[in-house]
């Protein structure tokens, strides 16, 4: 059990049958009412974000999350298969659990699989990944507008806005957090 005064960013808690990770929190004191803690939480099962307030001093159950380093092997239409790097055991995760993550995963990539009491909650990707551009229109000559962009199709199927100088076959660095172009790879 932990108290609301022990909250910190990244802490995982159980609340009303759900598992949340604390994204933001703020201790609020007012002259008219009791002190409370305002939190912004991400549900680890549904990936939705919610805002909740807890009275100061409330006891919460801490969710013990296990993180395992695994290697992404391959995907079928229904599952993504990962291998434990130490035991060589394989794990299948339903494709619908990794809707966003699949846009950045390449065969052989190392990821962190997040587990809660035997229930796989998701996959944590590296902050940035290098992906190859497979289809990109040529840059228009003379288009010198500041920050001019064009759309590129990457090897995983995701489309990203890139600068005009990017061409087919280039490797680019993409943020897995917001899906934006970061730099040339």
How far apart CA 125 and CA 43 sit, in angstroms, is 17
* Domains observed in the chain: 2-62 (2.30.30.30), 66-124 (2.40.50.140), 128-184 (2.40.50.140)
How far apart CA 44 and CA 18 sit, in angstroms, is 8
Whether 136 contacts 166, CB under 8 Å:
yes
Give me the sign of the Cα torsion angle 134, 137, 142, 145: negative
* pLDDT tens per residue, range 76-129: 989 999 999 899 999 999 888 888 899 999 999 999 999 998 888 889 899 999
Report the number of secondary-structure helices (H) and strands (E) in the chain. 0, 16
Residue 118 is encoded by which pair of tokens?
A: 């035997």
HSE (side-chain half, CA atoms, 13 Å) at 26: 7
- Nearest C-alpha neighbor of 126 from the set 109, 139, 138, 147: 109
* pLDDT tens per residue, range 148-184: 888 999 999 999 999 988 899 999 999 988 889 999 8
* pLDDT tens per residue, range 26-35: 988 877 778 8
Residue 52 is encoded by which pair of tokens?
A: 């909740």
């Amino acid at each position: 059990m932990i108290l609301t005064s022990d909250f910190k960013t990244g802490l995982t808690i159980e609340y009303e049958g759900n598992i949340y990770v604390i994204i933001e929190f703020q201790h609020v004191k007012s002259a008219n009412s009791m002190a409370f803690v305002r939190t912004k939480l991400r549900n680890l099962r549904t990936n939705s974000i919610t805002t909740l307030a807890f009275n100061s001093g409330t006891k919460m159950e801490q969710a013990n999350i296990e993180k395992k380093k695994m290697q992404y092997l391959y995907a079928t239409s229904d599952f993504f298969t990962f291998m434990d790097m130490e035991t060589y055991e394989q794990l299948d995760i339903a494709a619908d659990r990794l809707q966003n993550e699949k846009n950045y995963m390449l065969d052989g990539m190392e990821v962190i699989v997040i587990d809660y009491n035997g229930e796989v909650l998701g996959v944590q990707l590296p902050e940035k990944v290098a992906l190859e551009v497979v289809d990109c229109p040529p840059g228009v000559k003379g288009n010198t507008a500041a920050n001019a962009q064009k759309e590129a199709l990457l090897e995983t199927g995701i489309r990203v806005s890139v600068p005009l100088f990017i061409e087919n076959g280039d490797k680019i660095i993409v943020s897995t957090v917001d899906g934006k172009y970061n730099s040339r790879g």
